[in-house]
Copies of this chain bind each other. A is one copy, B any other.
Amino acid sequence: MTISDTEQPTKPFQPFKKIVFPEGIVLESGKKLVPLEVAYETYGHLSPERDNAILICHALTGDQFVTGINPISNRLGWWNRMVGPDLPIDTKRYFVICMNVLGGCMGTTGPKSPRNPENKEELWGVNFPSITIGDMVNTQRMVIDHLGIQTLFAVIGGSMGGMLALEWSVRYPDRVYATIPIATSSFHSAQNIAFNEVGRQAIFSDPNWKDGYYWRYGVLPENGLAVARMMAHITYLSEEALNHKFGRRLQKNAAASSFPIFGEMFQVESYLHYQGSNFVRRFDANSYVTISRAMDWFDLSQAYNGNLVEAFAKVQSRFCVISFSSDWLFPTSRSRSIVQALNRVAANVSFVEIESAKGHDAFLLDEPDLDRTIRGFLSGIAEQRQLKSYAS
């Protein structure tokens, strides 16, 4: 069975494959969101035993287009180098699923969706209900149910995607065989919240934000969103990576002898401006605000009196926890805390800190040690589980 075949849209051009849940979903806040649509992509084939499904969870500004050509951007998928035939997450062996998260802006119900399906003009915008990482996972679970999959062979994700992976292992312990949380944390720290909040304030300060109703005026809070993105981007890279990539190198036209105040003087500025302006074309500001807040609320231990060991008490999954030595957004110490808590409940856990100068974004970049780690771990547990698709 290839889900992507059975679910192909029949309407004229429709870039998003979606599953619609007319009954909607009850959120952790108690509010109900009706209907619920989830946009997703799949790669590879589900085995007859339905035991080879890998769910990949994307990061804050990611999407469901993991590999191949993203039809919206016409660029390669965000994990093209990791997912595909013979790649570490081998689509010849595994059935890979990725969904746009709840609150996103790539087809899944979010602030950019119509508030009432009868009236496509009126969007949710700032009235979209607040959501949590748990809500995102519940949404994914509905899709996994719909696809007829009882147990996911693995849930994998980096950064916010790692939060979702951890949440899966705790929330649905009997439905996850293995969990690979990468460059992530079991909670958002004061510094993480602080950076998110400054980004939101930059968006709110943009006159085109218009209290979140920008879509009514045909404008976008581009400048504010770009500032938020530029700042976040700094946190995604290590100081060393920035020094290596740009150092103090100047733009060609920088009149350095007169030390100008205005204009792009240093290459790192030009790079940031590009990151900012590129981002505002593809991402919705209300989605950014909504999802960044869901990350702020994330604390896996919260429902367990702040005790992470308690949170993991019922996990059945095996874990491969991965961090990067130069990641200062979610430093190795956070992964170590996760591993220590998992050890306390005698979970099956391996922990790899990858030496890398690339910073937090290393999980998206060319990092052969990451490839080897994921390939090795998946191969090991595929043999252990005697996956037919793997043996064949």
Contacts and interface: CB of A to CB of B under 8 A. Distances in A.
Interface of A: 28-31, 126, 130-132, 187-191, 193-195, 197-198, 201-202, 204-207, 223-224, 226-227, 230-231, 234, 237, 239, 242-243, 245-248, 256-262, 265-266, 268-269, 272-273, 276, 289-290, 293-294, 296-297, 299, 328, 331
Given A243-B189, A289-B261, A226 B201 contact: yes
A328 B239 CA distance: 9
Given A193-B269, A299-B248, A259 B132 contact: yes
B29 A258 contact: yes
Contacts of A226: 201, 205
How many copies of this protein are present in the complex? 2
A46 to B, nearest CB: 34
Residue of A29, A190, A195, A328 most packed against chain B (CB within 10 A): A190
Interface of A is mostly: helix
B190 A248 contact: yes
B126 A266 contact: no
Contacts of A257: 29
| Among A130, A231, A272: residue with most chain B CB under 10 A | A231
A191 B239 contact: yes
23 contacts: A29-B257, A29-B259, A126-B261, A189-B239, A189-B243, A190-B242, A190-B247, A191-B242, A191-B243, A194-B234, A194-B242, A195-B231, A197-B266, A197-B268, A197-B269, A198-B272, A204-B223, A205-B205, A259-B293, A259-B294, A261-B290, A265-B296, A328-B328
A146 B329 CA distance: 49
In order of increasing CB-CB distance, the 5 nearest A-B pairs are A205-B223, A190-B242, A29-B258, A190-B246, A130-B259
B198 A231 contact: yes
B194 A130 contact: no
A272 B190 contact: no
Contact of A245 (B29, B190, B231, B262): B190
